[in-house]
A and B are shown apart, each in its own frame.
Chain A
Amino acid sequence: MAAVVEVAGLRKEYALGNDRVYALRGVDLTVECGEFVAVMGPSGSGKSTFMHLIGLLDTPTEGTYRLEGQEVSNLSTDARADIRGRRLGFVFQAYNLLPRTSALENVELPMVYAGVIEAERRALALEKLALVGVPQLAAHHPNQMSGGQQQRVAIARALVNNPGLILADEPTGALDTKSSQDVMRLFARLNEEQGMTIMLVTHEPDVAAYARRIVTFRDGVITGDATNDRRAA
């Protein structure tokens, strides 16, 4: 079986005023199915750019990217949108739930664009809300939920199209310690019980401690790639 992510020689440059910024200077990485990877590094290390490329929100200047065996580095904007919706799940620092919209409808959103019929959408959304432990919040609006609850709903939304890879960008950045632990335990459980492949960007060692593998970026290259021996629980 092919690796979920296979990246080789990935480079990303862009113009900033008159300067050229070399955000990524040749990155090689393979993530196998079922892995839980934390991506760490200081600001400007290129980890965010890397995650944008993995998430197909951006295209690399150079290099190859195979997602579940398919070459995706040169796809059209629409084709990338389709893959984002069907094969990737996103979790953001700021949750990014639609305001004045129920949790259920928020979770249904990716399925709307993937063309799932309404009855099926409802059932799947409820199922995922139960999986992340907040079935009672289906009818609640984001402003009626705590940060931790909102992030759980956002995780349910990321899971709903059964993606091959979950990408989480600082998912605990806006949460207190207790909620952070809850959310990280949820990720760990999804990884163990559901076999979800997860890549997570963080700069907090406490958060990275939940992952099985820690990849470190610095100045646009990977400087560290190690198995996490002392996992948090």
Chain B
Amino acid sequence: MTAAATLRLALAALIRNKTRSMLTMLGIVIGVAAVLVTVAIGVGARTSVQQSINSLGSNLIVVQPGSVTMTGARTGLGGASTLTPDDGLAIAKLPGVAAVSPIASFRTQAVAGDNNWQTSVNGVAPTYTFIRSWPLAAGRFFNENDVASAAKVAVLGQTVVSQLFPSGDSPIGQTIIVKGAPFTVVGTLQALGQSGLGQDQDDTVLIPYTSAMQRLTGLTTVNVLMISAASADAIDPVTERVTALLEQRHRIVPPQTDDFQVRNLQAIAQTASQTGTIMELLLAGVAAVSLVVGGIGIMNIMLVSVTERTREIGLRMAVGARGGSILRQFLAESVVLATIGGLIGVVVGGTGTLAVAALTHWPTTIPPQWIVASVGFSAMVGIFFGYYPARQAAQLNPIEALRFE
């Protein structure tokens, strides 16, 4: 018998038992649909985390002070005060470095007229907007002269603008008071929204780092050095050079540990994608389990079907069917059953994903390879779990099968 004839025979047998076929498929349908919806949500979440990491800035490398041990207790990362703006200037001269900005940040109350707002004040260099790829909304950013003179100028994030100037008037040229010192607003930043970690990035006031350190905090060290590498390929070599340079500048010799830590976003992105991979593996596991359960359902029904159709099998054998034809006939039935179940599962899963996306506004993506893989896996489940019942059918003794009541 040809493959096409076998398939037609299988379809006819399944249509003859519509209700049972549908119910048998249900396991596979639900399995595939559940897998696709969870994958769609998982992959969508991963993509959006990836995007928000990218939104932090291009080719970003971050240097933070390390931990220090004080009377036996180790502080956490950033506990040491070891990074200086001079470190930043030295790093800027390294090959492969596009820009460096120190960040001296603290939280304080900013006041404008009758309004006040607690926000994060960041003393940064003029290169900061370039490093963060953060365009201005209005006005100008401070320049090297402002840094050199520790000018009292400020650039506001959109959240601060709306809190301190709720009337809607342009804040440019206005004065805000930070830690008792008046700063003139020279520009505003475009809205960035939440960071990947849920922080409001627009809730910030940027001032020259010299102003922050000399006029407001009196510190000589900064919290963070932000570096932009010239290209994505330069990230790793620059990370190594910065580490070497700072070890030299801070006179660190083994076995002393570094009093700073250099991290780049690739590491963070890698962590995120590792998390994503683990999640995908987990989902694949769930997929496998649910499809195996569906497969057991198919095997169960196929065994019932073989018993029920024992006389039919005997008759087919009497009129010339070889064992192989019987095996292929029943195998085809379970494979067709599983594959159609898989296809319906794709449709249900796709619809479910659209519904989830519409209701929750979560980002969702169904990668096409998951569709192909889940239908393919369904077919394999059909073969695997259909083989045993089909072999039972093929090995029947025709005399006993014909006599079967």
Contact = CB atoms under 8 A, between A and B. Distances in A.
Nearest to B311: A96
Interface stretch (B258-266, B321-329, B371-379): B321-329
A90 B399 contact: no
B368 interface: no
B399 A58 contact: yes
B319 A90 contact: yes
Interface in B315-352: 315-325
B398 A57 contact: yes
Given A52-B399, A92-B402, A114 B320 contact: yes
A85 B399 contact: no
Interface string A92-105: 10101010100000
A223 B114 CA distance: 125
Contacts of B324: 78
Contacts of A96: 311, 314-315, 318, 402
A55 interface: yes
Interface residues on B, range: 20 to 34
Interface centre among B314, B319, B321, B398 (most CB of A within 10 A): B319
Contacts of A144: none
A86 B318 CA distance: 11
Contacts of B321: 81, 85, 113
Contacts of A82: 320, 322
Interface in A109-142: 109-110, 112-115
B293 to A, nearest CB: 30
Given A81-B321, A85-B320, A113 B1 contact: yes
A86 B312 contact: no
A43 interface: no
Interface string B208-220: 0000000000000
Interface in B139-196: none
Nearest to A90: B318
Contacts of B402: 57, 92, 96
B315 A81 contact: no
Contact of A81 (B1, B9, B311, B322): B322
A92 B324 CA distance: 24
B16 interface: yes
A84 B319 contact: yes
B267 interface: no
B399 A57 contact: yes
Contacts of B316: 109, 113
Contact of B319 (A77, A110, A115): A110
Interface of B: 1, 5, 9, 16, 311-312, 314-325, 398-399, 402
6 contacts: A57-B398, A81-B321, A82-B322, A84-B317, A90-B319, A96-B315
Top 4 A-B pairs ranked by shortest CB distance? A85-B320, A113-B320, A110-B319, A96-B315
